[in-house]
Chain A
């Protein structure tokens, strides 16, 4: 439907530009067009990441700074959630195992669950919520306030400085956080087992690691690397694409979390299939 033209007045006179805006709004692209253009943009973004990754100069200082924010600043929440997960999982598993008189299996059951599935997944989900949203909001706000443009005109490559450093930091720090979460989770489980079964520290950990193979640890580390990359690149992409002021920033942060979580579950499903095939 055509918009009605306002009455001609000197200041309210509809200029050519305003007429074009109206026409552009009437000719919005269809859904398939939007979808394929999004796919193309994401592909270009990821390709550019790998190109910039190997092209000097390297932003070492910024990567280390980002590693500090991603890693060290997430320790408190990872400690809390990992520890509680260990305790709760042990408490929930005990009644079922005691029905069969198999509470001695608790350490190995818990270690398998934590190392194979819970630690990588919980770390990734927390990172998606905390780090992904932070990256999305930060880059989004820099984008809408022209700070990224300002960086570009001052002779700096903002993609390298902002995107490559953040994605590298999340990719490197997620495996470390995962290992830490697994350790803290096992400590929580140990405290609960020790309280109820008076198991010694040595005996608990020897039972816990008896059923863990190199493949389990390697698969979890690989998963965390993939999750870390996904969280970083999705956070940066949504931030870089932010438009329309503060609304766009909120949307970027929200999309970073939602898309990251969705992608993490898909990746989990795929990697588990691959690992099971290798086992």
Chain B
């Protein structure tokens, strides 16, 4: 990736432990404006921890994380909340507020952060973003009435309503069927084109990585083992990376 492109996320030597368990061991990673960066790795390899550090939900033990030029770890709560308005976080579990309808879920960030908006403007924004993810018909449904794929899309819609500059997707295709996975992958690409976002996509799904990623970073043993486009990453002699590729395609007996 050329160095003259604008960096929106800049991670240097980030480490994180939980007790004696070292999860991240000196991560270096950059996200450039307008690109989709996929972080691939096995379950428990620290992928989700990494994006939670970027969003300021966890603090790293060592190293630096700069997002849109701000050192996340050094920001006061108010400044951090302001920065977070530029970051959309799509959770693995969708994290829809289950006591609220879809409409209320989408209104929640708007009502709390853009207090000058009228009722009509809020409704318009909710309907527009829900239309963008193709689920306008679910407006008055409760999260419990939705399928896994619908929840994921509405989770994405809720983050898009504040028009973020950076999108962080945590396992966007985890636990859903292959056809819905493709729809979610297409949605991630559509979001980038329509909302002009830069995204980090955390996944272990190679189809998702291939469809959405401009660049892939392979996380192994708490470090970025390889970085590049999809083919570059898997053209390697590193057994750990080869195994990750081979075990994604189960041969017929």
Contact = CB atoms under 8 A, between A and B. Distances in A.
Interface stretch (B77-85, B126-134, B178-186, B208-216): B77-85
Contacts of A200: none
Interface string B143-161: 0000000000001001100
Nearest to B155: A150
A155 B81 contact: yes
Contacts of B113: 154-156
Contact of A147 (B20, B55, B98, B162): B98
Contacts of A18: 44
Interface stretch (B89-97, B189-197, B227-235): B89-97
Given A147-B97, A155-B84, A11 B247 contact: yes
Most buried by B among A15, A145, A150: A150
B77 A157 contact: yes
B46 A154 contact: no
Contacts of A24: 18-21
Interface in B5-58: 17-23, 25, 42, 44-46, 52, 55, 57
Contacts of A151: 97, 108
Contact of A153 (B23, B45, B82, B87): B87
Nearest to B46: A17
Nearest to A141: B98
B57 A149 contact: yes
A194 B155 CA distance: 61
Contacts of A31: none
A244 to B, nearest CB: 14
A197 interface: no
Contacts of A147: 95-98
A17 B162 CA distance: 36
A21 interface: yes
B95 A149 contact: yes
A152 B21 CA distance: 26
B221 A154 contact: no
A151 B111 CA distance: 13
A16 B57 contact: no
B93 A145 contact: yes
Contact of A10 (B87, B158, B159, B239): B239
Most buried by A among B57, B82, B92: B57
Contacts of A10: 239-240, 243
A10 B238 CA distance: 11
Contacts of A152: 57, 84
Contact of A16 (B93, B96, B222): B222
Contact of B45 (A17, A141, A154): A17
B251 to A, nearest CB: 15
Contact of A146 (B23, B82, B92): B92
B175 interface: no
Contacts of B23: 17
Contacts of B112: 154-156
Given A17-B22, A17-B46, A154 B93 contact: no
Nearest to A156: B112
Nearest to B113: A155
A20 B95 contact: no
B221 A16 contact: yes
Contacts of A153: 55, 57, 84, 87, 89
A155 B57 contact: no
A27 interface: yes
A175 B38 CA distance: 55
Interface in A16-68: 16-18, 20-21, 23-24, 27
B237 to A, nearest CB: 13
A57 B89 CA distance: 24
Contact of B22 (A13, A16, A27): A16
Most buried by B among A20, A147, A156: A147
A17 B95 contact: no
B109 A20 contact: no
Contacts of A17: 21-23, 44-46, 221-222
Contact of B162 (A138, A141, A155): A155
A138 to B, nearest CB: 8
A50 to B, nearest CB: 16
A155 B158 CA distance: 12
7 closest A-B pairs by beta carbon, nearest first, are A150-B95, A154-B109, A20-B21, A24-B20, A146-B95, A153-B89, A10-B243
Given A151-B97, A154-B162, 15 more contacts: A10-B239, A11-B243, A11-B247, A13-B240, A17-B22, A17-B46, A138-B99, A146-B95, A147-B95, A147-B98, A150-B95, A152-B84, A153-B57, A154-B108, A155-B81
5 contacts: A15-B45, A20-B20, A24-B21, A154-B159, A155-B112
